[in-house]
Chains A and B, each alone.
Chain A
């Protein structure tokens, strides 16, 4: 029964929940008792668990808080992981993981607690985290540092009109400064379309009428 439920879940859930459910059903069973994810969820009010996930109860759109992928025979990160980018806590222990490619946790800006097997290091390097501790057979990486503020080697330079913003552990992105927007932040403000159309229309109309009245009214069309 426990093995069937995760397979059925995607079918039973409404479409808006399907994305989260795919990751949650990636590994069999519920959140393991005693894992950091279970502890975290127990400490937070208003959460419920679904498969390997822990999420806010009744929040729409669904917001995942924690994900327990421990003991899941993962060699690499599951492809649907990006859908869980909002999670706060992630457990990857007891998996035969190979070193993770740079940028695996792109967009995981809320991630505050991450457990990875000892064979790996904390994503983004230990500099990207406030606190790295050994926890049994795994590393516990806690508290993301904001790489934009670091004055070290990664003094990040964004192009004109854009500013650096954190984008996951050890990762940065460049977002447009306030009045700028659009591709490469090239645009500033919004074009006063109504004003422009109004003025141009009024001028065209009045000039056309004026000129028609003074010039073409008595014209003999050949």
Chain B
């Protein structure tokens, strides 16, 4: 009988708590900080932009003032004639990074599933740290300034950094089952925000020694993180003989009540036997192909939805401080600090919505309701009065309803999709699917950065918000088939449960 097996784990947290070992905690922390460090080095780049552009340009001259002397000290670097062009170039590097990151996500997910996740993650962290070291520190030490060299390094950095997300999500997906996944992943997706704070902190601590040391410190810490991951990360419970999570335990109900759940239950009941007997076959599961992964139910729809949602989410990250200082005339440092509230809202939103979706065992309806509120909060935020506390509150609410679902799609739902029942036979799909979802999202985000600047210049900020509302609505549109399906299943399940009682 299928149901006792799947209902056994119904209360969201019991499954989580009963299975939690010190391995789980270490894996949670290691993956959390791995991704934090990757994000920290990105944040460092945006925080030292002023110093870099000042290093790359001669001292600004107004035509009346005589030139500053000595020449070597003030005017010898002519990579860019003035700060504006240097800023443009730095913005271009951001765009280059986002695109190569998006492309890299598609590739590194596939690579991650075929090679050892630990090696790929560790390699990605260490090599990207080296590239950052070359970019920021070595060129400065050697006084070698070259635009093309910088562009090439940043393309490579995007590709290498992209190994991080699919690998950490895959490892987390291996360790934390679907039962508590929404909550655990919601909490865990704070890693990006923590990384931002860490990066800003590290950069501000050593920036006075020169921008090259900001890069040196973040790159070294990231490299050290890669080494620690190499020696300490267990990619899956089966490595230490713990029961492997089968395909998601309750996934069977979702698909069809008729699907054989017996194999699944056996594995859970005497897991040790299972893992020992099956080592030969289970240890080399066939990784799923890219197109196969795309064809998994939900992958394309969630990817498209995430492209729209990540566009809005990243626009908030990138443009919020600028909007605040531009629209309300607040100081840049204050605007920077205030924009943290969006992150805070996102973390809380992701965790609470994850928890709700765990209890319901359905994620799409939670997303849809949250996104409906998001449209309202976007509308409200666009009309926020010129008052910092009120703005911060509405910002946190917007973060709650936009950042929350965004975090959920990129982590918990990606993991759900990669471990769904259909993949069970060839179980290494997690990183590939995560790569596809996040890669599509990143392309959306990259295009969005361009569109937002275009709309803002030509039509003004109000239209930017209308654009965000349009994108949020498209997200709802893309997940609506999934909502319909999940609600049907929810009703079906309830009917079946009533029949058995």
Asked if A216 contacts B231 (CB within 8 A), the reply is: yes
CB < 8 Å neighbour of A215 from B26, B73, B209, B210: B26
Q: Which residues of A contact B217 (CB under 8 A)?
A: 196
Q: CA A159 – CA B221 in complex, angstroms? A: 34
Which residue of B68, B73, B239, B279 is within 8 Å of A219 (Cβ)? B239
- Whether the Cβ atoms of A222 and B73 lie closer than 8 Å is no
Determine if A187 and B232 form an interchain contact, defined as CB atoms under 8 angstroms apart: no
Contact check: which of B22, B210, B231, B241 meets A212 at CB < 8 Å?
Answer: B231
B59 touches A203 (CB 8 A): no
Is residue B273 within 8 Å, beta carbon to beta carbon, of the partner chain? no
Q: Is the CB of B26 within 8 A of A189?
A: no
**In terms of DSSP, what is the predominant structure of the interface of chain A?**
mixed
A104 to chain B, nearest CB (A): 14
Q: Quick check: is A188 within 8 A (CB to CB) of the other chain?
A: yes
Given the complex, which residues of B lie within 8 Å of A215, measured CB to CB?
A: 23, 26, 232-234, 240
Q: In the complex, which residue of chain B has the Cβ closest to the Cβ of A187?
A: B210
Residues in A whose Cβ lies below 8 Å from that of B73: 174-176, 183-185
Considering the complex, which residues of chain B in the window 200-228 have a beta carbon less than 8 Å from any beta carbon of chain A?
206, 208-211, 213, 216-217, 220-221, 224, 227-228
- A159 B234 Cβ-Cβ under 8 A: no
Contact B232 A173 (CB under 8 A): no
A191 and B228 contact, CB distance less than 8 A: no
Any chain B CB within 8 A of the CB of A7?
Answer: no
Indicate whether A204 sits within 8 Å of B209 (C-beta atoms), given known contacts A186-B51, A222-B283. no
Do B228 and A211 touch across chains, with their CB atoms under 8 A apart? yes
- 1/0 contact string of A95-133 vs chain B (CB within 8 Å): 000000000001000000000000000000000000000
A89 CA to B232 CA in the complex, in Å? 72
Nearest-neighbour CB distance to chain B for A97, whole angstroms, equals 23
**A218 an interface residue at 8 Å Cβ cutoff?**
yes
Contact B69 A172 (CB under 8 A): yes
Considering only residues 147-197 of chain A, those with a C-beta below 8 Å from chain B are 158-159, 167, 171-176, 182-191, 196-197
Interface majority SS on B: helix, strand, loop or mixed? helix
Q: When the two chains form the complex, which single residue of A203, A210, A222 contacts B239, counting CB atoms closer than 8 Å?
A: A222
Measured in the bound complex, the distance between the Cα atoms of B66 and A171 in whole Å is 10
Contact A189 B54 (CB under 8 A): no
Q: In the bound complex, what is the Cα–Cα distance between A182 and B209 (angstroms)? A: 10
Q: Which residues of B contact A60 (CB under 8 A)?
A: none
What is the interface size of chain A, counting residues whose CB is below 8 A from a CB of the partner? 39
A33 close to B (CB within 8 Å): no
User: B22's contact among A173, A214, A216, A221, by CB below 8 Å, is which?
Assistant: A214
Q: Does B76 sit at the interface, judged by CB under 8 A? A: yes
Q: In the complex, A190 Cα to B210 Cα: how many Å? A: 9
> Does B55 sit within 8 A of A, measured CB to CB?
yes
Contacts of B228 in A (CB 8 A): 204, 207-208, 211
Query: What separation, in Å, do the CA atoms of A174 and B209 have in the docked complex?
Result: 20
A200 and B221 contact, Cβ closer than 8 Å, known pairs A183-B55, A187-B208, A211-B26: yes
Judge whether B426 is part of the interface by a CB distance below 8 angstroms: no
The reply to whether the CB of B4 lies closer than 8 angstroms to some CB of chain A is no
Please measure, in the bound complex, the distance between the C-alpha atom of A171 and the C-alpha atom of B70, giving whole angstroms.
11
- Quick check: A191 and B231 within 8 Å, CB to CB? no
B155 → A minimal CB distance (Å): 27
Task: Give every chain A residue within 8 A of B227 (Cβ-Cβ).
Answer: 204, 208
A134 to chain B, nearest CB (A): 29
State the CA gap A204–B26 with chains docked (Å): 15
- Which listed residue (A159, A175, A176, A204) contacts B59, Cβ 8 A? A159
Task: Judge whether B55 and A200 touch: CB under 8 Å.
Answer: no
- Please, how many angstroms separate the alpha-carbon atoms of A182 and B234 in the complex? 45
Interface centre among B70, B73, B76 (most CB of A within 10 A): B73
Q: In this assembly, does B116 line the interface, its C-beta being within 8 Å of a C-beta of chain A?
A: yes
Q: Which residues of A contact B46 (CB under 8 A)?
A: none
Is B473 in the interface zone, CB < 8 Å from A?
Answer: no
A158 contact set on B, CB distance < 8 A: 68
- Say yes or no: is B450 at the interface (Cβ < 8 Å to chain A): no
Given the known A-B contacts A173-B70, A174-B68, A219-B240, are A207 and B210 also in contact in the complex, defined by CB atoms under 8 Å? no
Chain A residues, CB < 8 A from B239:
216, 219-222
Contact indicator A187/B209 (Cβ below 8 Å) = yes
Q: How far is the CA of A106 from the CA of B70 in the complex (A)?
A: 9
Question: Nearest chain-A residue to B211 (Cβ)?
Answer: A186
A219 and B234 in contact, given A187-B210, A191-B213, A211-B26 (Cβ under 8 angstroms)? yes
Contact B234 A191 (CB under 8 A): no
Indicate if B87 sits at the interface (CB-CB under 8 A). Answer: no
A184-B54, A186-B51, A219-B239 known; A211-B69 Cβ under 8 A: no
Report yes or no: B209 in contact with A214, Cβ–Cβ below 8 A: no
Beyond A188-B208, A191-B209, whether A204 also contacts B74 by CB under 8 A is no
B77 located at the interface, meaning its Cβ lies under 8 Å from any Cβ of chain A in the complex: yes
Cα distance, A183 to B76, chains bound together (Å): 9
Q: Determine the chain A residues whose CB is within 8 A of the CB of B22 once the complex forms.
A: 214
In contact, B54 and A186 (Cβ under 8 angstroms):
yes
Alpha-carbon distance A176/B72, docked complex (angstroms): 12
- Mask, B52-95, CB within 8 Å of A = 1, is 00110001000000001110011011000000000000000000
Let me know if B234 and A216 touch, CB within 8 A: yes
| Residue from B76, B231, B241 in contact with A211 in the complex, judged by beta carbons closer than 8 Å | B231
Q: Looking at A171, A191, A212, which has the most chain B CB atoms within 10 Å of its CB?
A: A191
23 contacts between A and B (CB under 8 A): A106-B69, A159-B68, A167-B69, A173-B69, A183-B73, A183-B76, A187-B209, A187-B210, A188-B208, A190-B209, A191-B210, A191-B213, A191-B216, A197-B220, A208-B228, A208-B230, A210-B232, A212-B232, A215-B23, A215-B26, A215-B232, A216-B233, A218-B240
Task: State the B residues within 8 Å of A (CB).
Answer: 22-23, 26, 30, 51, 54-55, 59, 68-70, 73-74, 76-77, 116, 206, 208-211, 213, 216-217, 220-221, 224, 227-228, 230-234, 238-241, 279, 283-284
Please name 9 further chain A to chain B contacts, defined as beta carbons within 8 Å, in addition to the given A191-B216, A200-B224, A214-B26, sorted by A numbering: A158-B68, A167-B70, A186-B54, A186-B211, A189-B208, A200-B220, A212-B232, A215-B233, A219-B240
Q: Tell me the A residues contacting B by CB distance below 8 Å.
A: 106, 158-159, 167, 171-176, 182-191, 196-197, 200, 203-204, 207-212, 214-216, 218-222
